[in-house]
């Protein structure tokens, strides 16, 4: 700052010497004070450093055979795949089609264990005799239900039954899942026997043309339980509802269809 002031004064004197008239200058001395301030910033930097991880992997080293041109073989690292676990079937949940077909195949005379020799469900006799006998048995061979009389009826074997016995009923066919299709002769005259409603006989009004006083008929449900029955004079009229499963006729002469 002092050097600058001196140069400025000398310059004024030179101008004064060269000027024809005296010049008066007022010089103001300016003193500037500069204060130096040191600012220190502290910055903390934290860096996460991942340590080396050790990963175990089983590999199989398969050497590559040397090519015919004599080049050096190379080694290829091939990971060994994990074996696929075998699925073990549950015998309690496995029922083969062959076993089901065998149990539902037609049956003749004999004693059959339910679930072992014969499927539970509805079975219909195709015989035509009058001495057909069947019986449902429990584990102690006690009777649960039985029948002696006309063939051609249905027996409903329950899952809780232990065995079933057939004799002189002809062939038994499994009809549990059979379609209910009304046959072409469902409204034709009927005589003694069993008839499946909506299959072998049409529901509606039927009239007996017999003259006997020992006429018997029965409306049955799918378990062969009697819904309604009659024993006495022939010649009456029977109304068969669509909800019935089976009808039994005996000693009533011929039954003729009167309409719905």
**What is residue 49's predicted lDDT score, i.e. its pLDDT?**
44
Can you give the residue ranges of every domain in the chain? 96-174, 193-259
pTM of this prediction? 0.58
How far apart (Å, rounded) are the C-alpha atoms in residues 157 and 114? 8
How far apart (Å, rounded) are the C-alpha atoms in residues 246 and 198? 9
**What is residue 12's predicted lDDT score, i.e. its pLDDT?**
42
* Beta carbons of 251 and 232 less than 8 angstroms apart: no
Q: What digits encode the pLDDT tens for the residues 41-98?
A: 444 544 554 445 554 555 555 555 555 554 444 555 555 565 555 555 555 444 567 7
How far apart (Å, rounded) are the C-alpha atoms in residues 110 and 214? 33
For the chain, list the strands marked E by DSSP.
Answer: 59-63, 75-79, 110-113, 121-125, 132-137, 143-149, 154-157, 163-167, 172-174, 193-196, 204-208, 215-220, 226-232, 237-240, 246-250, 255-259
| Angle 178-181-186 from CA coordinates, rounded to 5° | 130
Q: Which position has the higher pLDDT, 201 or 128?
A: 201
| Angle 186-155-247 from CA coordinates, rounded to 5° | 35
In this prediction, what percent of the chain has a pLDDT beyond 90?
A: 56
Tell me how many helices (H) and strands (E) the chain has. 2, 16
What's the half-sphere exposure (Cβ side, CA atoms, 13 Å) at 237?
Answer: 7
């Amino acid at each position: 700052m002092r050097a600058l002031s001196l140069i400025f004064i000398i310059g004024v004197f030179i101008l004064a010497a060269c000027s024809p008239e005296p010049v008066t200058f007022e010089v103001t001395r300016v003193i500037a004070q500069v204060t130096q301030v040191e600012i220190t910033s502290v910055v903390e930097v934290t860096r996460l450093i991942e340590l080396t991880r050790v990963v175990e992997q089983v590999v199989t080293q398969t050497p590559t055979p040397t090519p015919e041109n004599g080049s050096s073989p190379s080694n290829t690292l091939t990971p060994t795949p994990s074996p696929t676990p075998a699925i073990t079937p549950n015998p309690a949940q496995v029922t083969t089609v062959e076993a089901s077909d065998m149990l539902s195949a037609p049956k003749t005379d004999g004693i059959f264990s339910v679930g072992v020799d014969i499927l539970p469900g509805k079975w219909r006799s195709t015989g035509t005799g009058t001495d057909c006998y069947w019986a449902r048995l429990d584990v102690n061979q006690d009777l649960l239900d039985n029948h002696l009389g006309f063939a051609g009826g249905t027996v409903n074997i329950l899952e809780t039954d232990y065995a079933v016995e057939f004799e002189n009923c002809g062939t038994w066919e499994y009809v549990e899942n059979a379609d209910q299709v009304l046959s072409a002769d469902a409204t034709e005259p009927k005589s003694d026997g069993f008839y499946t409603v909506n299959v072998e006989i049409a529901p509606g009004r039927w009239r007996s043309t017999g003259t006997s006083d020992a006429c018997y008929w029965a409306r049955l449900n799918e378990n062969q339980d009697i819904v309604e029955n009659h024993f006495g004079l022939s010649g009456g009229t029977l109304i068969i509802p669509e909800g019935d499963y089976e009808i039994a006729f005996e000693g009533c002469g011929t039954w003729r269809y009167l309409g719905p």
